[in-house]
Structure 1
Amino acid sequence: MNQRFLHLVIGFICLLLAPGGARAQKVPLTRQQYQQDFDYFWNTIRTDYCYFAQKQTDWNQVRALYRPQLDTLSSRRAFVRLLEYALAELYDDHAGLGTNRLDSRRLVPSGTDVWAEFVNNEAVVLAVRPGLGAERSGVRPGMVFTQVNGVLVEEAIRPFLPRALRRPDAAARNFALRHLLAGDHLSPRTWTLRTDGRPLTARPDEPIMKLENITYPSRLEARRIGNMGYLKINNCLFDNGLIAPFDSALTALMETQGLILDLRETPSGGNSTVARAIMGRFIASEGPYQRHELTGEETQTGIRRIWLEYVVPRGPRYAGPLVVLVGRWTGSMGEGLAIGFDALGRATVVGTEMAQLNGAIYSYRLPNSGIGFNIPAERLFHVKGQPRETFRPPVYIDLKTAAKGQSAATDPVLGKALDLLAKQKK
């Protein structure tokens, strides 16, 4: 289940069960306290957010647009919505609040089931998340969205477009499209698409809104495909408890002639401890896997701070050929693993563009309301200097082309990986 949604539901239940129920709520903040929180929020982003150079956002204009609204704001709920709008001006899916409302947009990419972008001014489906509502309702790569909930796409995205841009930015339009398609936690989505000249109506949240309850058979799936090994990590790169079962599963596959590591379902990212533990099982000597840059230090002092992060070998090494699979739901630390294996020269990376989440996030908390927020504060790079968010797999699969004439059960990325390993067999 979406963690923010789960926390909100649990908190509401606890409130109802507490003595006095809703009357037990804290005293509302004063206007001055809301202003103090907003100023802390705005100033922190101004100094620490590390992607302004890649954005068209006028951050001073953001303050001019949103701070006056605090004069009529009287509830935490309304303040959360104002912060959501202000943060969306960055059009950055790696920046977010630590709380939400039931009518807040789902998180991208972890709470989504389809990835689309504007291509020649059409909202084209580029990828579909397996097993969820979009796929179940017939949506496939290459289709074109024409309406969302009965409204033409160009009109429907307007509420999600940033208002404080110096000039138009295609990335901001794609951000708005992603959040339009994500929907909220309450309202079932209805999509109209065009496929081969014919209309398709898709209702991805029927019979249930499954994105609020994404489940996996296990954290780690392990099996043999012929004489090849296959390991799939299911959205738990943030859990140090993954390390022991990963080691055990890899040990059981040590005699295979090649291995596939599937990172296509890691949208929530993770931590570098887990990532380094995984990479450490495949290398013979230590080496750098990614480069960091703390731009806030340069902003404040004029001195650049850049460093490399290393991986150290550990445990029995798997020495056979390795292929790493990535896609649109490979996020954050999953992306770090992909560029790390590539930098170490230890694996062939196969798939599509990843989630393209910016940098490493730092967490902050507003002094009065206690609302948390996260923003990218470190830029991350391939050791050769390429920004992580622009990394494209050396073996690229165009899912729009691959989907033609194939069923939803066909997995062209996995098929390509098996072909590559078969060619590398000794």
Structure 2
Amino acid sequence: MKKRLLILLVAGIGLGLKPGPVAAQKPPLTRQQYQQDFDFFWNTIRTNYCYFASKQTDWEQVRARSRPQLDTLSSRRAFVRLLENSLAELYDNHAGLSTNRPDSRRLVPTGTDIWAEFVNGQAVVQAVRPGFGAERSGVRPGMVLTAVNGVDLNDALRPFLPTSQRGSDAAARNFALLQLLAGDHRTPRTWSLLVSGRALTAHPDEAGMALENISYSGRFEARRLGRVGYLKINNSLGDNGLIVPFDSALTALMDTQGLVLDLRETPSGGNTTVARAIMGRFIKAEAPYQRHELTREETQTGVRRIWLEIVAPRGPRYTAPVVVLVGRWTGSMGEGLAIGFDALQRAKVVGTEMARLHGGIYSYSLPHSGIGFNIPVERLSHVNGQPRESFRPPIYVDPKPGAASKAEVADPALEAALQVLRSKR
């Protein structure tokens, strides 16, 4: 009997059977399991999402519209799209899934290279991300977008507008515009623009889909600009491994007469451990840097829960003047650092509006499909009570409209930062 079993096993190998992977495959979800997953998703957001009060979203209507679709679901792929469409009704760039499809929209701002908003009915470019396709294809702040991939802008925008709203909201229209311009993970983008009345066609993905695999030479860059130190964080505020090399780089710059901390390439945010580690090198006593509010507790009990997060000093203290640079790709924890330095009165914040990502996010996982999702659960504010997403740098650098000329400063925000430090001498 044992010999016969061995022959069968060998025959199985010869036929290319691979029992390991086959055994690891999970059976497809049932319709009931999809419905249970969606109910968990919908109820978790209803109970915990902390920005409904500032939205026009009718969350009950989102469930009513999704229910008929759940009755016909037959694949994980279709379920992901249903969840994406539901989250889009919040028009919140800080709410998202842990998975995507090839035709899903890129993350805003992490996977984007352009920022535009509606001004007097026109879609006006506010900023372009240095070194990426939008900039390389000639797009500059002040230009007006008129079409995307050959489709008139208003028509191209329509699929991305929320459909379950109690009333109109300009923020929802701007959210849809950013989603449209972000593109998906497989389709090259073509934009039609106007600059000083002249037509311009831009192909930001002509050299390849560079936004799909963004890489950096290191966690940060450190150098000297004359007597001023310069430290730029390269989207690594969520990496605790940044702390030790950052400490070493800052210690090497202790003799400088001022420091520029550049947070303009931190779109993915990070964690408070890294942020507090950075701020702790610049203060001499414990102090609050950010205000938290857990709105869920007030909803459930009628009692507000608000607290301040404290930064403690650590390591050798850098005592010279500091400027923090921010922009549209300063996101989440990068924004927290900016308001923190401002609250601590330890740096001047210079630049433009930031990514305006709402609140502190919590992560959840659906019970059957295992799909993860993140939503803002804590409202975050400056210690003075100003919402983090509405913070504007006290020293504002307005992006220059139109195409750059050789006579213009290559980096106006950095030049403004250096001017601030020169005035402190």
Quick check: TM above 0.5? yes
Q: Secondary structure at the match of 1:189?
A: coil
Contact 2:140 2:402 in 1 (8 A): no
- Quick one: which amino acid aligns to residue 157 of structure 1? L
Alignment of 1:117-136 (within 5 A): 117-136=117-136
Q: Which residue does the alignment assign to 1:4?
A: none
Contact 1:18 1:24 in 2 (8 A): no
* Unaligned runs of at least 5 residues, structure 1: 1-16
Alignment of 1:301-320 (within 5 A): 301-320=301-320
Alignment of 1:92-107 (within 5 A): 92-107=92-107
Q: Which residue does the alignment assign to 1:272?
A: 272
In structure 2, relative to structure 1, the CA distance for the partners of 1:142 and 1:290 (3 Å cut) is: same
Q: Which residue does the alignment assign to 2:374?
A: 374
- Quick one: which amino acid aligns to residue 119 of structure 2? V
Percent identity, aligned pairs only, is 75
Alignment pair present for 1:80 and 2:108: no
Question: How far apart, CA to CA, are the structure 2 residues paired with 1:212 and 1:392?
Answer: 30
In structure 2, relative to structure 1, the CA distance for the partners of 1:402 and 1:303 (3 Å cut) is: farther
Contact 1:350 1:393 in 2 (8 A): yes
Larger Rg: 2
State the shift of 1:68 in Å: 1.6
Q: Which residue does the alignment assign to 2:12?
A: none
In structure 2, relative to structure 1, the CA distance for the partners of 1:18 and 1:262 (3 Å cut) is: farther
State the shift of 1:26 in Å: 2.1
In structure 2, relative to structure 1, the CA distance for the partners of 1:382 and 1:250 (3 Å cut) is: same
Q: Deviations over 1:147-172 (max 9, x none)?
A: 00000111101100000010111000
* Unaligned runs of at least 5 residues, structure 2: 1-16
Question: How far apart, CA to CA, are the structure 2 residues paired with 1:70 and 1:233?
Answer: 43
TM-score, normalized by length of structure 2? 0.94
Q: Which residue does the alignment assign to 1:190?
A: 190
State the shift of 1:423 in Å: 0.9
Q: Which residue does the alignment assign to 2:142?
A: 142
Contact 2:139 2:403 in 1 (8 A): no
TM-score, normalized by length of structure 1? 0.94
Q: Which residue does the alignment assign to 1:178?
A: 178
In structure 2, relative to structure 1, the CA distance for the partners of 1:365 and 1:414 (3 Å cut) is: same
Q: Secondary structure at the match of 2:400?
A: helix
Question: How far apart, CA to CA, are the structure 1 residues paired with 2:50 and 2:97?
Answer: 17
Q: Which residue does the alignment assign to 2:218?
A: 218
Q: Which residue does the alignment assign to 1:330?
A: 330
Q: Which runs of 4+ in 1 moved over 3 A?
A: 17-25, 400-409
- Quick one: which amino acid aligns to residue 340 of structure 1? G
Question: How far apart, CA to CA, are the structure 2 residues paired with 1:408 and 1:207?
Answer: 26
Q: Deviations over 1:255-289 (max 9, x none)?
A: 10100000000000000000000000000111000
Q: Secondary structure at the match of 1:177?
A: helix
- Quick one: which amino acid aligns to residue 114 of structure 1? I
Q: Deviations over 1:325-354 (max 9, x none)?
A: 000000000000000000000000000000
Contact 2:350 2:397 in 1 (8 A): yes
Question: How far apart, CA to CA, are the structure 2 residues paired with 1:26 and 1:110?
Answer: 32
In structure 2, relative to structure 1, the CA distance for the partners of 1:211 and 1:23 (3 Å cut) is: farther
Q: Which residue does the alignment assign to 1:108?
A: 108
State the shift of 1:21 in Å: 7.4
Q: Which residue does the alignment assign to 2:394?
A: 394
State the shift of 1:24 in Å: 6.5
